[in-house]
Amino acid sequence: MAPEAYAFLSGKQVPLADARVGVMTHALHYGTSVFEGIRGNWNEKHGKSYIFRLREHYERLHRGASILRMELSYSADEMCQITVDLLERCGYREDVYIRPIAFKSQELIANLRLHEVQDDFCVIIIPFGDYIDGENPIRCQTSSWRRPEDTMLPTGVKITGLYTTSILAKTEAIAAGYDEAILLNNDGTVSEGSGENLFMVRDGRISTPSETDNCLLGITRDSIIVLAREELGIEVEQRRIHRSELYLADEVFLTGTAAHVTPMGELDNRKIGSGRTGPVTAKLQEAYFDAVVGNNEKYMDWCTAVVPGGG
């Protein structure tokens, strides 16, 4: 039987087609929601999907929800269970993208406040392949849009309103013939991609912008920091990075749930290193792919196994 699309909304599983919100919803008007992007990776040999770092995603969602003064009905553990049950029911035997969203659900407009506005929680699951072609290094453009500063909008969590900037930047890059946008901070230092964190390799050292450089605290970023330490014996430096350092790097790569580990071949029409996937990027890509599909025993703690139909 073909898998069916279900969502979780207002406390129950419903067919995706019936998961609807009204036009007066607070979050629709004001960006008052916080979301996650999670991958379920199908392992054909095991006959299972592995959801990657599910609990960490819900911990981040809860951090964002607390900033937005949400009162959610579910703990992170309960959200994990809701997600596992939903994926079992959908029965997909392929890679999926899981999109939870906690939002100010009350139909209340002309009301600029967070308190005394009801919240709801929704999970959507869709089949999902490649977001960016990970085989070939991509061409990037430094965006004319700057990454919002944490003084403007909290940047370490996935607050919906932040994504207007990401979307402006990505649209600009694509229209100019590039694959992805790199956003700088207001002071001109490097923050991240439109939907990815950024790492730079130079003389065997790996660096990434730090938490105070307004980047999202990415779960792939954290996984790469662990894999670099465990698999390559390299401690990633978290520090401010100048734009011109990227031009001079041996390798630059982007990381994200959707983008995995994506090598950057070119930035602003300058080749990065050889322009091809560098050796450090390639090793981390391989280690990451093994970990996310449940092929490395050492990182099974990162994987939540789901059998289609419940099994």
Residues that bind ligand PMP (CB under 6 A): 37, 166, 192, 195-197, 216, 218-221, 255-257
Compute the distance between CA of residue 287 and CA of residue 295 in angstroms, rounded to an integer: 10
Runs of H (alpha helix) within the chain:
26-30, 54-67, 76-90, 163-175, 219-232, 243-248, 279-292
From 158, 271, 283, 298, the catalytic residue? 158
**Would you say the C-alpha torsion 111, 114, 116, 117 has a positive or negative sign?**
positive
- Measured from the CB atom, the residue of 257 and 304 that comes closer to ligand PMP is 257
Compute the distance between CA of residue 123 and CA of residue 147 in angstroms, rounded to an integer: 27
Compute the distance between CA of residue 228 and CA of residue 118 in angstroms, rounded to an integer: 42
Residue 174 CB, nearest approach to ligand PMP (Å) = 16
Residue 47 CB, nearest approach to ligand PMP (Å) = 26
Say whether 298 is catalytic.
no
Residue 286 CB, nearest approach to ligand PMP (Å) = 18
Name the token pair of 109. 């407009």
- Measured from the CB atom, the residue of 6 and 299 that comes closer to ligand PMP is 299
**Would you say the C-alpha torsion 183, 129, 266, 201 has a positive or negative sign?**
positive
Residue 125 CB, nearest approach to ligand PMP (Å) = 16
- Measured from the CB atom, the residue of 106 and 220 that comes closer to ligand PMP is 220
- Measured from the CB atom, the residue of 14 and 217 that comes closer to ligand PMP is 217
Q: Give the catalytic positions in this structure.
A: 158
